[in-house]
Amino acid sequence: MKHKNWIIGIGIAAILLLSACNVTTGTPNSDEKTYKLKVGYLQANGAPLADIAVDEGFFEKEHLKVELIPFSASTDGLNALQSKKIDIGLTFGTSGPLAFISQGSDFDIIGGHMEGGHPIVVKEGNKSKYKSLQDYKGKKIGTVRLGTPDIVFKAALQESGINIEKDVTFIDFKSVTAVLEAVASGKVDVGVSGTGHLSKAEKIGLTPVLWSNDINPKHVCCRVTVRGASTEEQAVAYKKFLKGLIQAERIKLESPEKALKATKVHFKLDDKTVNEIVNEPHLHNTADPNKKEVVKMWEQMKNLGYVKNGEKIDINKHFNLSFYEQALNELIKEHPNDDYYKKQLENYKKQNT
């Protein structure tokens, strides 16, 4: 009898073990392998495209399990990427990953997530004083050093002939929130704000006088960043992830209300605030890596002194565009009558090659 119990016990254990294995490597109705990715995102930016892709089941369709991990600071997220605690950095900006690359990090940019959407703000009553970039001369400007809008704005001032060391006074802050408070309290004249902060800026009596899109309509913001050396399995997972993002980008473009529904799960904020963070008209979400604009920002960072010894690094080696291209080609194949993906491919060629 005892002997019989042992056999039954081993049998049950084997069944449990097999079913446990099934959870991690397969799906109930398919033999196709399930891939897993840990994706880090900056809390203040959210991860709209990934949220939509989860909500619409795009990742599930690709047998991809995505775990979204929040960070309050980009540097912590990029450190986590560097030390293999996450597989992808989704919304840590462009300048953040580029700064890490300039310090020797083996990061590759494989896709995009956001473009534009950063306002330059002043007190409501001072709006009329700022009509051109020359009007910023002699002003105190609050900024978060090394942030994407910081680079776009400083580069624009430089290009318009303003000496950013002498003609203006930049004051660094740790967060956009602090920049806004400094403008509201009159400690600085102008604030370089960030995406998703518009209504709070307006609530404290500030107004946008310039958008980063006005300076450069195609400037890049968050880039999808991974570690350079990837395994075969990761390569497949990255392609699947981008495939999900491309489809999500389309959903957001065509049905912003779906974007709100998908993203508000992650934001503990009211619908109006979430809608502003996700659907603000100046903010564009696209999964295209936009290499040309990233290289442009790299050059701007060198000119601003944010990248030292930049000549020693070939930034072109820090892109892996194949995942995005494969993802797009697969989507074209799967939807042969759909022009949207074909247009994205044309766009991709323009922006990356």
Partner 1 sequence: MKKFLQLYIYTTLIAIGLLALWVFITNFTELLNPIIFPSPEIVALAFIEAITELFQGFLSSMGLLIPAFALSLILGIGGGLYFGMNQRIREILSPFFQTFSPLPPTLFIPYAIALLPTFELASIFILFIATFWPIFLGTIEGVLLIDQHYWDNAKTLRLKGKDLILKMVLPASSPLILSGTGMSLGLSFIVLMMAEMFGANSGMGHFVQYYTDFTQYDFVLAGLIFNSIVILLIMVIYEKIKKRVLFWTNLKKTGSSI
Binding residues for partner 1, rule: CB under 8 A, are 43-44, 69-73, 75-77, 79-80, 82-83, 85, 175, 177, 180-181, 184, 196-197, 200, 203-205, 268-269, 273
Q: Which is nearer to partner 1, 203 or 335 (CB)?
A: 203
From CA 286, how far away is CA 161, in angstroms rounded? 32
State the minimum distance, in angstroms, from the CB of residue 307 to partner 1.
Answer: 20
State the minimum distance, in angstroms, from the CB of residue 350 to partner 1.
Answer: 35
State the minimum distance, in angstroms, from the CB of residue 277 to partner 1.
Answer: 8
Residue in 102, 97, 42 with CA at minimum distance from that of residue 72: 42
State the minimum distance, in angstroms, from the CB of residue 177 to partner 1.
Answer: 5
Structure tokens at 256: 């912003």
Q: Which is nearer to partner 1, 93 or 289 (CB)?
A: 93
Strands 35-42 and 190-192: unpaired
Structure tokens at 318: 């820090």
Q: Which is nearer to partner 1, 60 or 181 (CB)?
A: 181
Burial class (CB in 10 A: 0-12, 13-18, 19+), 200: middle
State the minimum distance, in angstroms, from the CB of residue 28 to partner 1.
Answer: 28
From CA 342, how far away is CA 202, in angstroms rounded? 40
Q: Which is nearer to partner 1, 158 or 273 (CB)?
A: 273
From CA 335, how far away is CA 331, in angstroms rounded? 6
State the minimum distance, in angstroms, from the CB of residue 201 to partner 1.
Answer: 8
State the minimum distance, in angstroms, from the CB of residue 231 to partner 1.
Answer: 19
Q: Which is nearer to partner 1, 35 or 71 (CB)?
A: 71
Q: Which is nearer to partner 1, 27 or 175 (CB)?
A: 175
Strands 190-192 and 169-172: unpaired
Q: Which is nearer to partner 1, 72 or 163 (CB)?
A: 72
State the minimum distance, in angstroms, from the CB of residue 50 to partner 1.
Answer: 15
Structure tokens at 67: 């775990």
State the minimum distance, in angstroms, from the CB of residue 314 to partner 1.
Answer: 26
In the sheet that 140-143 helps form, which strands lie side by side, from edge to edge? 169-172, 140-143, 190-192, 119-123, 206-211
Q: Which is nearer to partner 1, 211 or 267 (CB)?
A: 267
From CA 62, how far away is CA 85, in angstroms rounded? 23
Q: Which is nearer to partner 1, 169 or 273 (CB)?
A: 273
Q: Which is nearer to partner 1, 61 or 85 (CB)?
A: 85
State the minimum distance, in angstroms, from the CB of residue 345 to partner 1.
Answer: 36
